[in-house]
Amino acid sequence: MADHPVDETLPPLKMATTGLQHVAAMYAGVVAPPLIVGAAIGLSATDLTFLTGACLFTAGLATLLQTIGIWKIGARLPFVNGVTFAGVAPMTAVVAATPDKDDALPIIFGAVIVAGLLGFLAAPFFSKAVRFFPPVVTGTVITLIGISLLPVAFGWAQGPDPSADDFGSATNLTLAAVTLVIVLVLRRFTRGFVKQIAVLLGLVAGTLVAIPFGVTDFSPVAESAVVGFPTPFHFGAPQFQLAAIVSLCVVMVVSMTESTADMLALGEIVERPADEKTIAAGLRADTLGSALAPVFNGFMCSAFAQNIGLVAMTRIRSRYVVATGGGFLVLMGLCPMAASLIAVVPRPVLGGAGVVLFGSVAASGIQTLVRAGLEKDNNVLIVAVSLAVGIIPISAPQFYHAFPETARIVLDSGISTGCVVAVLLNFVFNHIGNGRSDAAEVTHPMETDVSRPTETDAHSTETEAHSTETEEEITGSPKTARTTP
């Protein structure tokens, strides 16, 4: 019996280039939190570089733990882990509340360790919520993930510094558009391997195009050391303060909620649905990676949804490709000069590629919603209200400004609020009272409503044949059996 595409290994060159493509997609998201927190503390340039390298190193370790796995730890899916942005606000709040800034990082690290260990213990219980994630919920959450990420791409397209004179300039937007066009052209007019690494090629081409405009900065390469190691507890032994611990525990709950949604989304995309066991193992990897990260001066780790878009677009589903990307992240943490090569890519170029990546996530969510039984009024209401609530932080960022800072950690995450609302509404409309009799009998989170045949079902055989033929054309290898909606 042939291996599932998730467990396939690819030729070395293909493994390296596609793994590097995952690193390019996530790099900006990994380095942003340490840069923001480090700047708030007032770290020197040397310490800031050290902190950034440490976060790359720990993100690589967490990704390897998630993809390769040990014992009951790791989802063993092409699942990328990195520093969660949800922790930035509470960590900067800790910095502001700490009189001696030298104690800020030790306090943050102590809180992350406690939150990670508590999350690890809670993972098997948290994963039981998977039964409340039928397609109407997962489709809504996947769509929200893509929609929530798109503003990030738009921000990148405008430039790295909102206070700069050239932020949102015609030059920056043109570079983003050129990169987007290059990726689209490569996806449309190339085949096989070149088509699969279209994003990476687009980033390289966009960077070259940006050189004459003076947007590409090679100084990080010249100023970086060749070798460096994130010395354990470089900034001091961890300190444990209750307020910081509570704040980061709330972030951990948000992170686990988003990771659960991301695993369900990724399982759908790679056609290996994430069951309760998989989610528990994935959450253990998330939380253990977070607990270990402070030892090497890193922050809390979580799933990176942008890489799910890359998997959806390239259709390369091997977890070993992402593990290779994790290996690159570890090397970058050990070799600051190598890390600086990715930093050379201008932010507008990343923004152009991000439109494709993040849009692909939203498109995957819409595909799931297509087969979520939207002919039922209950499900339409679930999707409508959940999407509306999830889009609030995007369309009205100050909507929750009057709420306490701790509450805003959750409320300002459209993915988390939309996910919670979708789960609650699905429970109310489809699991209790009269709604239960109208609900589809779903025995698995990814199973569709089979209670009534649809027009799509009549054409499933023809569609599957076309899908198989298309994937063989793209990947050059036979496709495993699947059920096409």
pLDDT at position 117, please? Answer: 94
- Inform me whether the pLDDT recorded for 448 exceeds 80: no
Average pLDDT over residues 374-388: 89
Q: Distance between CA 422 and CA 144 in Å, rounded?
A: 11
Model confidence over 344-370: pLDDT tens digits?
778 898 888 888 877 877 887 787 788
Residue 73 or 417, more confident: 73
156, 158, 160, 164 alpha-carbon torsion, rounded to 10°: -170
**pLDDT value for 385:** 94
The 10s digit of each residue's pLDDT in 286-333 is 999 999 999 999 998 888 776 777 787 778 888 898 899 889 889 888
* pLDDT digit string, tens, across residues 164-208: 888 889 999 999 999 999 989 988 888 766 776 777 788 889 989
Residue-level pLDDT at 306:
67
Task: Tell whether the torsion through CA atoms of 392, 433, 453 and 263 is positive or negative.
Answer: positive
Ranges 153-162, 379-388, 397-406, most confident: 379-388
Question: What pLDDT score was predicted for residue 89?
Answer: 65
Of the listed ranges 296-300, 361-365, 414-418, 466-470, the one predicted with least confidence:
466-470
Q: What percent of the chain has pLDDT over 70?
A: 83
Higher-pLDDT residue of 108, 1: 108
Q: What is the pLDDT of residue 483?
A: 34
| Segment 449-475 mean pLDDT | 44
pLDDT > 90? residue 102:
no
The alpha carbon of 80 is separated from its chain's Cα centroid by a whole number of angstroms, namely: 7
**Could you tell me the pLDDT band of residue 463, with boundaries at 50, 70 and 90?**
very low
| pTM reported for the whole predicted model | 0.64
Looking at 125-129, 231-235, 275-279, 421-425, which range is the least confident one? Answer: 125-129
Contact 202, 183 (CB under 8 A): yes
Question: What value does the mean pLDDT of the chain take?
Answer: 78
